[in-house]
């Protein structure tokens, strides 16, 4: 018997912990189980060929919003080639409306609903050992038999300590993100999230967790992402794990946590401040700062405490923080969303993720969509098109903000220039909105651009703004400063092979540059001439524009030393002696 489990991940660097858990839990069936792992970037024909060559007696798919369209196609085609092979699906994309999915897809034998380890184990035993003899005796199934649909009783949740460690072998995972869970469930009931449907909150034994995390560190895994929905909801559990990570740290592995910043205690903050830069990183879901929206989506958040905590963590410069906002939530219109954006941007996180509401099957938001006049894409990822408060035109404008945010802020490639521009523009949202509108007017979204081209576009944008946006404190006299700040940003990231055309002429500074470059490090160092005193740290906010310097300023970019959070080169102001 050959039972093939198929994972189709969003990217190559991702791994599928669900199917690995299934295989570990069904250890007595392991010799009959085969895992095939692909990405959505593989062609359907390539995946189809791989499945066919594996010769499955039973075929299983793990279904999520990023792969469901591809899975729908594959199950139709593989059924033509292997019409007698039972096809089973599981995952959030199929389990909440299992019966209707089966009616639409007669090629599928059945769907595993809910927590899947024990259900899959029994299903594997049914096919391999014929015990249990009937599918009706397996909890958590919706399946087709004799042209009728059957639904078995719901499966029970597992004790987390019963789950075997699914990464006992790191084969083929050395260059991938490892996903790990120390708990299941969430204490909150946010209306847009499927985690709100799980009523129980369970934790894995801390000694097991410590032993397993030690294994990752010993193997030199680059990154481990905890999939716990709110990792720090249990303070003792979180602090004990963080202490263990500090004690076993070898300076290689990074650990990612989704946390509620307002829940962090003073004791936890005092400890986190001591961690090696880059050891941990935090994803913090804010979603909105509009009180009516927060109430309506059933979110619990102390915003003033969140701001206080984020500000403290940013000042330490040792923890990457990724803050999230969602456009399209109830009671959030264009104006209130722009306020939410500016309020969270003012905290200057490492990244600000601007996402759009996904109307997920099974969620409270899905069930109450009519109340909010929600319209959304029919196909995954079911992203919002409009709401009672946001028109589709509003959504499109915010999408332009999102793209500019990704290019010019979240990339960390234009850090100095963006901070300088925020001294001119009344808000970050207005800056990214106007820049996005410029891209749209000039049809710049339709092609790829190099970093240098992005700089030239930004300069062209500013030249147009000087002529048309008279309410801003922009003038021709500022363009030389922005040209130099972009040169600074380019060299902060890498030693450019091609010198920008808008950079100053170095002919008059050859002697000074030769005297300063005494180490002769070649591509590992670069010394650049500027005429404005720029700050050297990416973490520093800029509150006023610098004045031009009387004398030229020399900055050394050291590519052997980089910031562990932003990956920017170490930069210092060097002086001729």
- Mean pLDDT over 483-499 rounds to 94
Q: Look up the CATH number of the domain holding residue 383.
A: 3.80.30.20
Could you tell me if 118 and 190 lie in one domain?
A: no
Q: Which three-class secondary structure state does DSSP give residue 77? A: helix
Write down the pLDDT at residue 386: 98
306 and 190 belong to one structural domain = yes
472-481 CB contacts, 8 Å cutoff, 24+ apart: 472/424, 472/425, 473/424, 474/424, 478/424, 478/545, 480/531, 480/548, 481/420, 481/532, 481/545, 481/546, 481/548
Q: Is residue 508 part of a domain?
A: no
User: Does residue 350 belong to any structural domain of this protein?
Assistant: yes
Task: Output the pLDDT for position 116.
Answer: 93
Q: Does residue 453 sit within a domain?
A: no
Q: What pLDDT is recorded for position 476? A: 87
Structural domain harbouring 348: 164-390
Which of residues 357, 390, 423 is at a domain's end? 390
Does 308 have pLDDT greater than 90?
A: yes
How sure is the predictor about 182, in pLDDT bands with cuts at 50, 70 and 90?
very high
> What pLDDT is attached to residue 510?
85
Judge whether residue 536 has pLDDT over 80: no
Residues 267, 176, single domain; the answer is yes
pLDDT score, position 186:
84
* First-last CA distance in the chain: 78
DSSP code of residue 358: B
- Mean pLDDT, rounded, of the chain: 93
Name the nearest CA neighbour of 225 among 539, 410, 10, 493.
Answer: 10
Give the domain-ending residue among 101, 119, 151.
Answer: 151
pLDDT for residue 549: 94
Q: In 228-334, which ranges are E strands?
A: 254-259, 280-287, 320-327
Residue 551 resides in a domain: no
Range with the poorest average pLDDT among 294-308, 416-430, 512-526: 512-526
Residue with tokens 């050297």: 536
* Residue 106 domain flag: yes
pLDDT, residue 362, reads 85
What is the CATH number for 34? 3.40.50.2300
CA-nearest of 492, 495, 342, 517 to 431 is: 342
- Report the C-alpha gap between 456 and 452 in whole angstroms: 6
In a domain, 86, yes or no: yes
Cα(343)–Cα(539) distance, rounded to whole angstroms? Answer: 18
Per-residue pLDDT, 361:
87
Q: What value does the mean pLDDT take over residues 16-27?
A: 93
Identify whether residues 147 and 169 lie together within a single domain. no
Q: Does the structure show a pLDDT above 90 at 522?
A: no
- pLDDT at residue 405 above 90? yes
Question: Do the domain assignments include residue 159?
Answer: no
* pTM tops 0.75, yes or no: yes
- The residue whose two tokens read 């820049």 is 435
- H helices of 282-427, in order, are 291-296, 303-316, 334-345, 364-367, 392-405, 415-421
DSSP symbol at 432: H
122 with 207, same domain: the answer is no
CA angle (136, 139, 143) in 5-degree steps: 55
146 and 225 co-located in one domain = no
Structural contact between residues 299 and 287, judged by C-beta atoms closer than 8 angstroms: yes
Q: How far, in Å, CA of 15 to CA of 7, rounded?
A: 9
Q: Which residue has the tokens 């019966």?
A: 99
What one-character DSSP code corresponds to residue 228?
Answer: -
Q: What is the pLDDT of residue 199?
A: 62
Are 171 and 142 within one domain? no
Phi then psi for 262, rounded to 5 degrees? Answer: -70, -10
| Residues 65, 18 within the same domain | yes
Q: Mark whether 142 and 173 lie in a shared domain.
A: no
* DSSP class of 355: E
Structure tokens at 423: 């001294």
Q: State whether 214 and 296 are in the same domain.
A: yes
pLDDT above 90: percentage of residues in the chain? 81
218 and 171 inside one domain: yes
Position 61 in a domain: yes
Residues 180 and 315 in one domain: yes
Q: How confident is the model at residue 196, as a pLDDT?
A: 58
pLDDT(319) > 80: yes
Q: What angle do CA 562, 563, 569 make, to 5 degrees?
A: 40
Q: How far is CA 519 from the centre of its chain?
A: 40
The count of structural domains within the chain is: 2
Mean pLDDT, to the nearest integer, of 21-48? Answer: 95
pLDDT for the residue numbered 399: 98
What's the confidence (pLDDT) of residue 473?
A: 80
Taking 80 as the threshold, does the pLDDT of residue 485 lie above it?
yes
Q: What is the pLDDT of residue 194?
A: 73
- pLDDT of res. 539: 62
Last residue of a domain, one of 367, 390, 413: 390
pLDDT, position 518: 67
Question: For 230-282, how does the pLDDT look when each residue is reduced to its tens digit (9 = 90+)?
Answer: 999 999 999 999 999 999 999 999 999 999 999 999 999 999 999 999 999 99
Is the pLDDT at 497 greater than 90? The verdict is no
Predicted confidence at residue 200, as pLDDT, reads 77
- Cβ proximity of 206 and 212 under 8 Å: no
- SS3 call for 421: helix
């Amino acid at each position: 018997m050959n039972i093939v489990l198929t994972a189709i991940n969003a990217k190559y660097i991702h791994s599928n912990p669900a199917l690995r858990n299934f295989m570990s839990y069904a250890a007595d069936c392991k010799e009959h189980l085969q895992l095939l792992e692909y990405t959505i970037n593989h062609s359907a024909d390539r995946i189809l060929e791989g499945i066919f060559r594996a010769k499955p007696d039973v075929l299983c798919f793990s279904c999520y919003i990023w792969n469901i369209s591809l899975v729908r196609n594959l199950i139709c085609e593989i059924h033509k080639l292997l019409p007698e092979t039972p096809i089973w699906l599981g995952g959030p994309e199929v389990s909440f409306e299992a019966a209707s999915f089966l009616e639409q897809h007669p090629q599928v034998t059945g769907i595993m609903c809910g927590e899947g380890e024990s259900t899959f184990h029994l299903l594997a035993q049914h096919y391999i050992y014929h015990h249990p003899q009937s599918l009706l005796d397996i909890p958590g199934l919706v399946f087709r038999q004799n042209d009728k649909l059957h639904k078995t009783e719901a499966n029970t949740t597992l004790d987390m300590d019963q789950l075997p460690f699914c990464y006992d072998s790191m084969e083929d995972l050395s260059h991938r993100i490892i996903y790990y869970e120390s708990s299941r469930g969430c204490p909150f009931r946010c209306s847009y999230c499927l985690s709100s449907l799980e009523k129980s909150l369970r934790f894995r034994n801390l000694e097991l967790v410590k032993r397993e995390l030690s294994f990752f560190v010993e193997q030199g895994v680059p990154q481990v992402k905890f999939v716990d929905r709110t990792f720090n909801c249990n303070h003792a559990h979180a602090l004990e794990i963080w202490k263990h990570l500090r004690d076993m740290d070898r300076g290689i592995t990074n650990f990612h946590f989704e946390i509620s910043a307002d829940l962090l205690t003073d004791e936890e903050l005092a400890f986190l401040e001591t961690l090696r830069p880059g050891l941990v990183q935090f994803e913090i879901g804010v979603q909105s700062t509009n009180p009516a929206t927060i109430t309506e989506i059933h979110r619990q958040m102390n915003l003033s405490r969140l701001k206080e905590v984020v500000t403290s963590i940013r000042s330490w410069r040792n923890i990457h923080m990724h803050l999230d906002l969602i456009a399209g939530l109830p009671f959030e219109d264009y104006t209130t969303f722009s306020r939410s954006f500016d309020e969270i941007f003012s905290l200057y996180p490492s990244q600000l993720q601007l996402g759009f509401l996904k109307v997920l099957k099974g969620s409270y938001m899905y069930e109450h969509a009519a109340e909010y006049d929600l319209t959304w894409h029919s196909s995954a990822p079911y992203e919002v098109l409009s709401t009672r408060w946001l028109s589709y035109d509003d959504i499109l404008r915010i999408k332009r903000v999102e793209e500019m945010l990704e290019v010019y802020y979240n990339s960390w490639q234009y850090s100095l220039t963006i901070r300088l521009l925020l001294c001119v523009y009344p808000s970050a949202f207005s800056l990214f909105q106007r820049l996005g509108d410029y891209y749209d007017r000039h049809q710049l979204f339709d092609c790829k651009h190099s970093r240098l081209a992005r700089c030239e576009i930004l300069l062209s944008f500013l030249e147009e703004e000087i002529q048309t946006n008279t309410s801003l404190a922009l003038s021709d006299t500022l363009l030389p400063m922005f040209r130099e700040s972009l040169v600074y940003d380019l060299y902060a990231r890498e030693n450019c092979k091609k010198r920008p055309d808008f950079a100053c002429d170095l002919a008059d500074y050859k002697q000074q540059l030769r005297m300063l470059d005494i180490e002769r490090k070649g591509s590992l160092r670069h010394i650049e001439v500027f005429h404005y005193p720029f700050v050297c740290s990416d973490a520093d906010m800029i509150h006023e524009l610098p004045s031009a310097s009387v004398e030229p300023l020399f900055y050394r970019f050291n590519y052997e030393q980089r910031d562990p959070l932003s990956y920017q080169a170490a930069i210092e102001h060097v002086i001729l002696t």
